[in-house]
Amino acid sequence: MFCECFNLKDRKISVISNNNIRENIPVVILNTFKDNAMDIAKLCKGECIFIAVHVTDWDDSLSPWYSPALFKGDPDFSGEADDYLLFLTDTLLPFVMEKYSIDYKRLIIAGYSLAGLFSVYSLYKTDIFCGAVSASGSMWYPGFIDFCKENKIKSNPRAIYFSLGDKESKTKRQPICFVEEYTKDLCLYFSNMGINSTFELNPGNHFKDSDIRTAKGIDWVLNRI
């Protein structure tokens, strides 16, 4: 397995391939909250190249707009997703494509939790993605479902994968208690648009098997693009 790491604009990047890097191989942009990109890549059965970003400013870079913190003492969500997406599309991708002489005719964006929400949000802001993975995505984020239904999607994705743990909505805390309802609703919304979309319910809470859930989603999309 090929793996090379470097820093770009103060962000740690890993380029990983579970096969030979060649033209026309699918490319997965993977936004991770811990340094687990290699673990996810090893779990994936599909052939692809991972461009993994270790996102340390999680609540800032991946939140689409400002929202107060859910828990007392936590930082607010500052809503810098547009700037972060611009880094991915205008800085990271051109750099990696030139460095490794690959293209991205089949480009997927994937992530877990808030990065899963960001994957879906990205489809509304750029037309470069043909697939998205939202593993245990934060679809509870205030205003997100309305945003998706009130705005036009820019990408033309062939496949979108949603998943949750079956205990994630078992809480009295709002708006997290609505996460399963919202996720299913959004999956159906995209399906009705003619996009191949699926929702999978996994055993456990939000913190169980994050690597496995992410890899399952990536493989599902890889098989459909």
Residue 200: strand, helix, or coil: strand
Task: Provide the pLDDT for residue 22.
Answer: 65
Tokens describing residue 79 = 């809503």
121-156 pLDDT tens trace: 999 999 999 999 999 999 999 999 999 999 999 999
pLDDT of amino acid 108:
97
31, 193, 165, 129: CA torsion to nearest 10: -10
Q: What is residue 46's predicted lDDT score, i.e. its pLDDT?
A: 87
Q: What is the mean pLDDT of residues 70-82?
A: 92
User: What is the separation of C-alpha 48 from the centre of its chain, rounded to a whole number of angstroms?
Assistant: 16
Number of domains in the chain: 1
Q: In the β-sheet with 131-135, what is the strand arrangement from edge to edge? A: 2-8, 11-17, 49-54, 27-32, 107-112, 131-135, 159-165, 196-202
Q: Where does the pLDDT of residue 21 fall: very low under 50, low under 70, confident under 90, or very high at 90 and above?
A: low
pLDDT over 70 (residue 19):
no
> Residue type at 85?
L
Residue 174 belongs to what domain range?
Answer: 2-222
Half-sphere exposure of 134 (CA within 13 A, CB side): 29
**How confident is the model at residue 23, as a pLDDT?**
67
28: which strand partners? 50, 108
- Residues 203-214 pLDDT 10s: 998 889 999 999
The predicted structure's pLDDT at residue 101: 82
Q: How far apart are CA 182 and CA 177, in angstroms?
A: 10
Q: pLDDT category, 224, cuts 50, 70, 90? A: very high
Torsion of CA 69, 71, 74, 75, to 10 degrees: 0
174 pLDDT higher than 90: no
198 by DSSP, 3-state: which? strand
Residue 149 has a pLDDT of 97
For residue 128, with 0-12 CB atoms within 10 Å meaning exposed, 13-18 middle and 19 or more buried, which class applies?
middle
**Which CATH number is 140's domain given?**
3.40.50.1820
CA 205 → CA 104, 145, 225, distances in Å? Answer: 34, 22, 29
